[in-house]
Amino acid sequence: MPFIPHTPADERSMLDAIGVSDISSLFDEIPKDLRAAPLTGIPVAMTEMAVGRLMSERANRDGRPLNFIGAGAYEHHIPAAVWSIVTRGEIYSAYTPYQAEASQGTLQTIFEYQSMIASLTGMDVSNASLYDGASALAEACLMAVRVQKKTSGARILMPRSVSPVYRGCAESICGLQGLIFDVIEYDRSGGSTSVALLPDSTGNDVTAIVIQQPNFFGMLEDVDALTDWAHAKGALVIAVVNPMTLAVLRPPGEWGAKGADIVVGEGQPLGVPISGGGPYFGFMTTRMEHVRQMPGRIVGRTVDLDGRTGYTLTLQAREQHIRRSKATSNICTNQGLLMSAATIYMAIMGPQGLEEVATASVHNTELLVSAIAALPKVRTAFIGPRFHEAVLQLDVPVAVVLEGLARLGIAGGYDLSRDYPELGSALLVCATETKTAADIARYTEALATVMSNVDSVGE
């Protein structure tokens, strides 16, 4: 709340109305020895104007670098109408719709969101969103175990081409619950998961395989072959997708002969700003036969006795609604504000708008890669189709290059050396529809200058 309008006279009037002498009397049930002592260690109070100036100065320290980092969070243009609508009081402060009769607007928004996400992924049903893409993958792995009762174990095939953040999150959440993650290597030439690298025999203990499309390197996987292989082995397919790509790529519901079984991903590209890392929201869709194992809430549409359209919480598998031992998850929630932003964004953009954004992103990335790969001591790491990210290998240390670019006001990409040391000095770069030819030229020129300076220092 940016402004509290209560005057001392207002406070006195309210205290008199409830019959107490001062505000501290409202907390008289708390023993004095448990109350906080005076805050003597904080600076002297500042005026509103001084505080505003201080915070602006600190915010300006971050600057507004030209951004070529992707790696799971993407800079897209967000129409002004999206957050102008979302920050209206009746939407901005809305939370969980526990009382359906008093929350019809919120429930309808969630229903529209579910419908859009289900359509985008080509699946039957969507829940009302999750914390983020990484925890959504963890939830999908747990859900797969509940669905796959016929398997003798809880074994998930996890390609290394899946985001290391997602892999780490899934292992942290699911590892102590008995799930085993088998790491699958990627093809060194194509940067994707090859069927030839999958285990020859899986027995009946493989629960699911995770397929990220595009994968963490930005490369497109052979999703049809991987999906059909998994189903032939009796395993489920968990798809991890960037929703923006679904405007131009076949949805997971159409992968292979049967389609994916569970689809998750990060919803941030759909109208949510990068915001220094969050908050974001995750999405999840599945086939109708698995709906009762899906975590979270699902909103349904019906009619009342008078034939009027109404919305209600159809399935509520959260511990806040049912006994904890029966809940499908104890961590999922409805990120209402961000889900609402995504719903408005998709409604404004429409299928054609999403397709234009995706196409422009692919085009700009190809321009970026072509320009950078033409520089001395720079080469592309993988051969094959990609979306709006690419891996480049440099003959100089990536960390030093990124530091030099940062001094020039450019966020130059993501250093892969920690997560993928076998790639050497490798850099993951990204370009979306927000990048212009001038931006790409500036980046290329700056990269050439920085690498030249690094060579000079090294010599």
Dump pLDDT digits (tens) for 332-345: 555 678 999 999 99
Token pair of 175, please?
Answer: 């590892």
Strand arrangement, sheet containing 236-241: 125-126, 282-286, 262-266, 236-241, 206-213, 155-159, 180-184
Q: State percent of the chain over pLDDT 90.
A: 73
Mean pLDDT of 230-239: 95
**Predicted pLDDT at 45:** 86
Higher pLDDT, 319 or 66: 66
Confidence of residue 89 (pLDDT cuts 50, 70, 90): confident
**Predicted pLDDT at 358:** 98
> Does residue 69 register a pLDDT over 80?
yes
**Predicted pLDDT at 37:** 83
**Predicted pLDDT at 325:** 67
Residue pointed to by tokens 């349904």 = 300
> Does residue 406 register a pLDDT over 60?
yes
The alpha carbon dihedral of 401, 406, 412, 413 has a sign of: positive
299-318: pLDDT as tens digits: 999 998 899 999 988 877 55
Cα separation, 77 vs 83, in Å, equals 12
Main-chain dihedrals φ then ψ at residue 285, nearest 5 degrees: -130, 160
**Predicted pLDDT at 231:** 95
105-155: pLDDT as tens digits: 888 999 999 999 999 999 999 998 888 999 999 999 999 999 998 776 799
**Predicted pLDDT at 314:** 85
> Does residue 192 register a pLDDT over 80?
yes
The answer to whether 412 and 444 are in contact (CB under 8 A) is: no
Main-chain dihedrals φ then ψ at residue 236, nearest 5 degrees: -85, 165
Q: Which amino acid is at 261?
A: D
What is the number of helices (H) and of strands (E) in the chain? 11, 15
**Predicted pLDDT at 323:** 65
Main-chain dihedrals φ then ψ at residue 421, nearest 5 degrees: -60, -25
> Does residue 203 register a pLDDT over 90?
no
Compute the half-sphere exposure of residue 388: CA atoms within 13 Å on the CB side of its CA.
31
Residue pointed to by tokens 């940067």 = 191
What average pLDDT does the structure give for the chain?
91
| Residues forming a β-bridge with 31 | none
Confidence of residue 459 (pLDDT cuts 50, 70, 90): very low
413-444: pLDDT as tens digits: 999 999 999 999 999 999 999 999 999 999 99
Confidence of residue 243 (pLDDT cuts 50, 70, 90): very high
Cα separation, 366 vs 134, in Å, equals 28
| Whole-model pTM over 0.85 | yes
Cα separation, 62 vs 406, in Å, equals 11
Alpha carbon 331 to its chain's center: 16
Mean pLDDT of 16-29: 92
The answer to whether 378 and 394 are in contact (CB under 8 A) is: yes
Domains and CATH numbers, the chain: 80-345 (3.40.640.10), 350-458 (3.90.1150.10)
Cα separation, 351 vs 356, in Å, equals 9
Q: Where are the alpha helices (DSSP H) in 152-251?
A: 164-174, 223-232
The answer to whether 426 and 416 are in contact (CB under 8 A) is: yes
DSSP state of 322: S
> Does residue 274 register a pLDDT over 80?
yes
Q: 443: which residues sit within 8 A by CB, 6+ positions away? A: 66, 68, 368, 371, 372, 405, 410, 412
Mean pLDDT of 249-257: 98
325-372: pLDDT as tens digits: 667 775 555 567 899 999 999 999 999 999 999 999 999 999 999 999
User: Shortest CA distance to 366 belongs to which of 426, 422, 429?
Assistant: 429
